[in-house]
Chains A and B, each alone.
Chain A
Amino acid sequence: MKAPRPRFGLTPFAFLSPAAAVLGVFFLGAVAQVVYYSFTRYTAFSGPDFVGLENYRRLLASERFWACLGNSAIYLLVTPAIIALSLAAAIVVESLGSRGRWLRLALFLPVITPTIVAGVAWRLILNEDSGLLNSALAMVGLDPVPWLSRHPWTLVSAMFVTLWKGFGFYMMVFLAGLLAVPRELREAAALDGASRLGVFRAVTLPALAPSIVLVFIVSSISALKVFDELFVLAKGSPIAQQTAVPLLYRIAFEEGDYGLASALGLSIFLFILSFSLVNLRLSARSEEAAS
């Protein structure tokens, strides 16, 4: 006779209740509120009063909104650099085998470094008069670059820090992917006479395709959410030369315009969502084409 399926009654909900309370209030509840606030005039001093689409009209009419959105789009260029660098690092770590352990730990140092510390360190390296980078450029006869004062170099500097802080993490993702490729598969291909590059192209790269798609999506989302790097490296520059989340911070917590900031928050969400959906669609299509 089959044992009766255990009945759980309210037990599952008891286990779920702490998580439900936190996520329900601070995320799901907050999402509902951000939608409502975006349709209201709501400042640090008054409101919220319903005003329909007023905030969205103001947002679309404001120059800094489009400038910051454009800069966020530029910031996305950090994603291919992250993929290239973290994939190269993963290949190096994997081919060193057990001796690659020290390198793995070294590459993780930037990941655990708080962004404020990374920013302070990189400001030193990017310093326009005495920094290492401009000194190195001078040595090969190039003009100094205004890394910390001139648009779009401030963006490029922040992207340096994002790349530096991020690639060790994504390296681990690729390493997981590489280690999951069966060794026999690669050896079989090599036995069949494939060159190293051939094995990489025919066996390793296709096996890594899902990791590449994931890293692409995750790192591009975090590029669109960037705040800390700009706060540390580009604090002095005009807001129109920064990206979307610094603009949100400015509008909400320095200008106290919660309604407008909520409309901006939702716009950022829609931007991230549509970008990710397009990427998923494209990667699905290229997989179909490959098979």
Chain B
Amino acid sequence: MIERRPAWLGISTWALAVVLAIVSIGPAAWLLAIALQPPGTDLREIGLSATFDNFAAAWRDGSLAGPLVNSVVVTFARALLNVLIAALAAYPLARMRFPARNLIFVLLLCTMMVPEQVVLVPMFRIVVGMGLYDTLAAVVLPFSVTAFGIFLCRQAFMAIPASLEEAARIDGAGPLRIWWHVMLPLAAPTLATLGLFSIIGAWSDLLWPLIVLQSRDAMTLPVAVNALQGTFATNPRAVYAGAVLSLVPILVIFALLQRFMKPEMFGGAVKG
């Protein structure tokens, strides 16, 4: 170390770190604290008595079990398909020469430029036309791959030495086997990152499920939590409890996968 950090700088860095942490964790912690309060208590009596009644009410009367299962299915289907389809498409784009390659690149960039919000109406009509309205497939299918995911995988594949691929080819492996046995394992950290991004996005998705889902049986958790606000107009604490419950699974998944969240991935993520 060439120079010593002055004391005031160290202290203010830590102070700022604590403030940032409180701002980030505070709202969810506050939500939890109030959800644990018995109904009808004053907000200022926070922490004096705790009860799980609100959680039980949200779970039972808000019937969150079905939406929880739906959200888990949708989230994992979307993450799995995103990784698989993107990795498939990225392989030839990273490693093969073929006609129309540049055209495909341009088309991919175009899909990246159009936000889903712009094409909501035709997307909705297409889903209805396929007979998928009010099914979980309608939530999964349109978002089962993104151009962003394809570019992310392509970058990871391009970093893999060609000699490994060549060796496998000399051993007689076809393209599909090379993709599965050579490319996928070596790009695993990137694939995990893409999976994590897809999981976070799918778990939180509100607008599209709101449009294509109608019946209680098909609701995902964000839609169900939104509906809780009507069910529990007289006991808002049950709504808070439901909101906390829907946060738990994503917290667990994040805790398991957070080691794949490296800053380098975000540098690449934004550059596409």
Q: Which residues of A contact B (CB under 8 A)?
A: 5-6, 8, 11-13, 15-16, 18-20, 22-23, 25-31, 33-34, 37, 88-89, 92-93, 95-96, 100, 102-103, 105-118, 120-122, 124-125, 130, 132, 164, 168-169, 172-173, 175-177, 179-180, 187, 190-191, 196, 211, 214-215, 218, 221, 225, 227-228, 231-232, 245, 248-249, 252-253, 258, 261-262, 265-266, 268-269, 272-273
Contact = CB atoms under 8 A, between A and B. Distances in A.
13 contacts: A16-B92, A19-B86, A19-B150, A23-B107, A27-B111, A34-B121, A102-B21, A109-B24, A109-B25, A187-B2, A190-B2, A265-B119, A266-B118
Nearest to A257: B121
A248 B117 contact: yes
Contacts of B244: 117
A30 B204 CA distance: 23
B104 A228 contact: no
Nearest to A232: B226
Given A215-B270, A249-B207, A33 B145 contact: no
Nearest to A229: B206
A16 B254 CA distance: 30
B251 interface: yes
Contact of A180 (B104, B118, B267): B267
A114 B206 contact: yes
Given A164-B27, A248-B120, A23 B271 contact: no
Contacts of B25: 106, 109
A158 to B, nearest CB: 14
Interface of B: 2-3, 9, 13-14, 16-17, 20-21, 23-25, 27-28, 30-31, 34, 43, 85-86, 88-89, 91-93, 96-98, 101, 104, 107-108, 110-111, 113-115, 117-126, 141-142, 144-145, 147, 150, 169, 175, 179, 200, 203-204, 206-207, 210-211, 221-222, 225-226, 229, 239-240, 243-244, 246-247, 250-251, 254, 258, 261, 263-267, 269-271
Given A19-B145, A273-B113, A117 B247 contact: yes
B122 A33 contact: yes
Contacts, number: 257
B179 to A, nearest CB: 7
Contacts of B247: 113-114, 117
A15 B91 contact: yes
A95 to B, nearest CB: 5
B169 A176 contact: no
B20 A107 contact: yes
A81 to B, nearest CB: 13
A132 B3 CA distance: 43
A168 B24 contact: yes
Contacts of A176: 263-267
Contact of A268 (B118, B144, B222): B118
A221 B126 CA distance: 25
Contact of A16 (B14, B104, B264): B104
A96 B17 CA distance: 9
Contacts of A106: 20-21, 24-25
Nearest to A172: B266
A92 B13 contact: yes
B98 A179 contact: no
B88 A19 contact: yes
A8 B85 contact: no
A116 B111 contact: no
A218 B266 CA distance: 12
A144 B263 CA distance: 40
A23 B108 contact: yes
A15 B88 contact: yes
A196 B114 CA distance: 42
Contacts of B9: 196
